[in-house]
Amino acid sequence: MTVTEVRKHAVGDEGGMGYLQSVPRRVVTIYLPLLIFVIVLLFPFYWMAITAVKPNEQMTNFNDYSPFWVVSPTLEHIKYLLFQTSYPGWLLNTVIISTAATFLSLLASVFAAYAIERLRFSGSRQVGLGIFLAYLVPPSILFIPLSLMVFNLGLYDTSFALILTYPTFLVPFCTWLLMGYFRSIPFELEECALIDGASRWQILTKIILPLSVPGLISAGIFAFTLSWNEFIYALTFIQSSENKTVPVGVLTELVRSDVYEWGALMAGALIGSLPVVILYSFFVEHYVSSMTGAVKE
Amino acid sequence: MATETVTAPRSSLLSRMAESRGFLSFGFMLPAAALLLVFLTYPLGLGVWLGFTDTRVGRPGIFIGLENYEYLWDDSIFWLSVFNTLLYTVTASILKFMLGLWLALLLNENLPFKSFFRAVVLLPWVVPTVLSAIAFWWIYDSQFSIISWALIELGIIDHRINFLGDPTNARASVIAANVWRGIPFVAITLLAGLQTIPQSLYEAATLDGAGKWQLFRYVTLPLLTPIIAITMTFSVLFTFTDFQLIYVLTRGGPVNATHLMATLSFQRGISGGQLGEGAAIAVAMIPFLLAAILFSYFGLQRRKWQQGGGD
């Protein structure tokens, strides 16, 4: 690299040492691989979307129609899905279960995180570690004993089975995340409030919670997404069609005979993904911070 | 993790609350503790107990000692599932790590639309696994696979690939789908780690004559090790206990070539009704999980120099 080249790129560049690389080199080493990554990561969604609006005869006829595009898109699959299957009911179930499980978990987690991080009762560090270990217990080893419990409690095939079991992975996650948030709030604020005669309850609701709204949003939307995506508990604890959640319903009810209705399946997958994707698009930063926040400790 | 800051003034102020603090803590911990004890700790113990019984769906079992485990010990399908799980975990984790680190390094460059790229990259991780797996199912269709079609059109292959019908292909296909879903998590968390590395270190190393590879090897990698360790521990745990992808794509077939321990546990325990045996398979996963956690805890934990302390 010549001196003039370096000087040319150095002007007005704030990207650290990025100016040391020439443009053609950046294209090959950065933009091209990045483009391939993005295409591969997004292709399944494109394929999902395009199949959902493709008329059946185009779907399997690759000779007369380009498979990558759709001529005269149809809403037939989506109509079928919304009016001739229990899909709207599954959506409603998923919304109710995810919302309830998220609120339950957040409520429990706020108190637990505050107690561990700020009340500092004896043994709070051990409890904190225990919460972290609980996060590492995977649903795959819990679903069999839980199914027995759910059955014996009379919760089998009800939404409560899921609302009460989802907190097993939501509470550890939310508590861990909120502990990190509470830790970043200065002790002095609490001390001032204590001097002014505030009770612990007032401190929590009037000082700590307003200050940790970003943390609560992060934990909340993350928990909502995790419950929305949950599969193994919903598959095991729910039997009747009208009580199923979207992931289970799409897989077990829309796949029937040997003839797969790919259009309806893809429409189901697409519509089932949309709520979390929309939520995600509004709160990208919160997602990233909660994802990395859980790992950074 | 530990924050022992400002203990002295705080404890003097809090001493007034001291008599109620124990009670208050108990009350605050109660909801979370109750939920976790009832629905996590107890089932964990119950699962271990079930592994020693012959419980079936609708019939309480009796204690049969190690019979389930003895049966599994001689069961070739069980050992095949252990092998599959290890193969799946190791291959997918290595690929996820390498591709994820590469993607993180790319995203860490000074790019236009950086936040847009970051948002887009995370999408596969946000969308419900089952639903994206259904999309993969369609992509892997034996007759109308778009990959087969594209490769035939390009003249690379001359007949359709049987993605999910052939044992080797099926293994590769599920691993590919798992890697696709796992890359964003690894990439975004490692990116967060990369962004904490001060630029001045790179500048100093460059002045000392370090090349690109040396910058990566002696600056980036050592400083990134702690976050790599944690990210990969999570990634390995989630891959090892994966259930959804396999259940959607192959249900363990063809001829059990893609059965993981979790799917085998579901098949025997729930579909087959042998709760005891299913629980035993699930319990057999625990030693592997513990080994992974302990390995990452002791082998890869933070060193003092990575936090600015002495060696």
Q: What is the CATH number of the domain that holds B160?
A: 1.10.3720.10
Burial zone of B140 (CB within 10 Å; 0-12 exposed, 13-18 middle, 19+ buried): buried
Question: What does the radius of gyration of chain B's CA atoms come to, in whole angstroms?
Answer: 25
Tokens 């887009």 correspond to B120
Say if the Cβ atoms of B124 and A41 lie within 8 Å. yes
Say if the Cβ atoms of A109 and B44 lie within 8 Å. no
Would you say residue B49 lies in a domain? no
- Token representation of residue A42: 């997004």
In which band, very low, low, confident or very high, does the pLDDT at A294 lie, cut at 50, 70 and 90? low
Q: Number of CB pairs < 8 Å for A and B?
A: 294
Say if the Cβ atoms of A34 and B25 lie within 8 Å. no
> Contact, B142 vs B163, CB < 8 A?
yes
Say if the Cβ atoms of B118 and A288 lie within 8 Å. yes
| Residue numbers in A near B109 (CB within 8 A) | 15, 18, 26, 30
Q: Which long-range contacts (CB under 8 A, 24 or more apart) does A249-255 make?
A: A249/A86, A249/A87, A249/A90, A250/A87, A250/A90, A250/B130, A250/B131, A250/B134, A251/B130, A251/B134, A251/B247, A251/B248, A253/A85, A253/A86, A254/A81, A254/A85
Note whether A116 and A33 are same-domain residues: no
Q: What is the pLDDT of residue B300?
A: 61
Say if the Cβ atoms of A119 and B24 lie within 8 Å. yes
Q: What is the pLDDT of residue A1?
A: 42
pLDDT digits (tens, 9 = 90+) for A93-141: 999 999 999 999 999 999 999 999 888 888 888 888 888 888 888 999 9
Q: What are phi and psi of B53, to 5 degrees?
A: -125, 170
Note whether A221 and A126 are same-domain residues: yes
| Residue numbers in B near A172 (CB within 8 A) | 36
Would you say residue A10 lies in a domain? yes
Note whether A29 and A94 are same-domain residues: no
Q: What is the DSSP letter of B260?
A: -
Question: What does the radius of gyration of chain A's CA atoms come to, in whole angstroms?
Answer: 25
Note whether A168 and A97 are same-domain residues: yes
Would you say residue A288 lies in a domain? yes
Asked which of A81-85, A112-116, A228-232, B199-203 is least confident by mean pLDDT, the reply is A81-85
Q: Alpha-carbon torsion B244, B250, B253, B257, what sign?
A: negative
Say if the Cβ atoms of A44 and B129 lie within 8 Å. no
Top residue of B29, B134, B224 to mutate, by most chain A CBs within 10 Å, is B134
Would you say residue B35 lies in a domain? no
Count of CA atoms in the C-beta half-sphere (13 A) of A155: 18
Q: Quick one: which of B114, B136, B139, B138 has its CA closest to B127?
A: B136
Count up the domains in chain B and report the number.
Answer: 1
Would you say residue B42 lies in a domain? no
Would you say residue A155 lies in a domain? yes
- Apex CA B153: angle with CA B150 and CA B157, to 5°? 85
List the CATH number of the domain containing A261: 1.10.3720.10
Q: What is the pLDDT of residue B144?
A: 81
H or E stretch covering A277: helix A262-282
Distance CA A169, CA A231 (A): 13
- Which residue in chain A is spatially nearest to B1 when comparing CA positions? A297
Residues paired with residue B56 on neighbouring β-strands, in sequence order: B59
| Residue numbers in A near B103 (CB within 8 A) | 34, 37
Distance CA A158, CA B278 (A): 23
Say if the Cβ atoms of B139 and A44 lie within 8 Å. yes
Q: What is the pLDDT of residue B255?
A: 86
Note whether A199 and A260 are same-domain residues: yes
Note whether A119 and A236 are same-domain residues: yes
Note whether A19 and A154 are same-domain residues: no
- Token representation of residue A195: 């001097």
Note whether A129 and A237 are same-domain residues: yes
> Contact, A200 vs B17, CB < 8 A?
yes
Spacing of C-alpha A177 from chain mean position: 15
Count up the domains in chain A and report the number.
Answer: 2
SS3 content of chain A, % helix, strand, coil (to 5): 75, 0, 25
Tokens 């995180």 correspond to A113
Would you say residue B96 lies in a domain? yes
Indicate the SS3 state at residue B116. helix
Would you say residue A47 lies in a domain? no
Would you say residue A63 lies in a domain? no
Say if the Cβ atoms of B132 and A269 lie within 8 Å. yes
Say if the Cβ atoms of A187 and B10 lie within 8 Å. yes
- Token representation of residue B282: 């699930």
Q: Which of B126, B146, B261 sits opposite A277 (nearest CB)?
A: B126
pLDDT digits (tens, 9 = 90+) for A28-56: 888 899 999 999 999 999 999 888 888 87
Note whether A288 and A181 are same-domain residues: yes
Around Cβ B10, how many Cβ atoms within 10 Å? 17
Is the pLDDT at A297 greater than 60? The verdict is no
Note whether A23 and A133 are same-domain residues: no
Say if the Cβ atoms of B128 and A125 lie within 8 Å. no
- Token representation of residue A116: 């561990």
| Residue numbers in A near B261 (CB within 8 A) | 140
Residues paired with residue B3 on neighbouring β-strands, in sequence order: none
Would you say residue A179 lies in a domain? yes
- Which residue in chain A is spatially nearest to B227 when comparing CA positions? A296
pLDDT digits (tens, 9 = 90+) for A153-198: 998 999 999 999 999 999 999 998 898 888 888 888 888 888 888 8
- Which residue in chain A is spatially nearest to B286 when comparing CA positions? A141
Spacing of C-alpha A220 from chain mean position: 10
A201 Cβ neighbours under 8 A, 6+ residues apart = none
Which domain range does residue A1 map to? 1-42
> Contact, B244 vs B133, CB < 8 A?
yes
Say if the Cβ atoms of A41 and B9 lie within 8 Å. no
Distance CA A247, CA A295 (A): 27
- Token representation of residue A268: 């189901």
Indicate the SS3 state at residue B256. coil
Distance CA A290, CA A292 (A): 6
Least Cα separation, residue B168 to chain A (angstroms): 22
Least Cα separation, residue B135 to chain A (angstroms): 6
Say if the Cβ atoms of A183 and B22 lie within 8 Å. no
Least Cα separation, residue B105 to chain A (angstroms): 9
Indicate the SS3 state at residue B108. coil
Say if the Cβ atoms of B117 and A34 lie within 8 Å. yes
A262: amino acid identity, one letter: W
Q: What is the DSSP letter of B216?
A: I
> Contact, B97 vs A197, CB < 8 A?
no
Q: What are phi and psi of A63, to 5 degrees?
A: -80, -40
Least Cα separation, residue A226 to chain B (angstroms): 8
Would you say residue B161 lies in a domain? yes
* Cis peptide upstream of residue B254 (ω within 30 degrees of 0): yes
- Token representation of residue A161: 């089975």
> Contact, B231 vs B125, CB < 8 A?
no
> Contact, B305 vs B261, CB < 8 A?
no
Would you say residue A97 lies in a domain? yes
Mind listing the pLDDT tens digit of every residue in chain B (311 residues)? 444 444 445 555 555 555 567 778 888 888 999 999 999 999 999 999 999 988 888 788 888 888 889 999 999 999 999 999 999 999 999 999 999 999 999 998 888 888 888 888 889 988 999 999 999 998 998 888 888 888 888 888 888 888 888 889 999 999 999 999 999 999 988 998 898 888 899 999 999 988 888 999 899 998 888 888 888 888 999 999 999 999 999 888 788 889 999 999 999 998 888 899 999 999 999 999 999 888 877 766 555 445 544 44
Note whether A29 and A119 are same-domain residues: no
Burial zone of A133 (CB within 10 Å; 0-12 exposed, 13-18 middle, 19+ buried): exposed
B277: amino acid identity, one letter: E
Which domain range does residue B181 map to? 77-300
Would you say residue A58 lies in a domain? no
Q: Which of A44, A105, A119 sits opposite B21 (nearest CB)?
A: A119
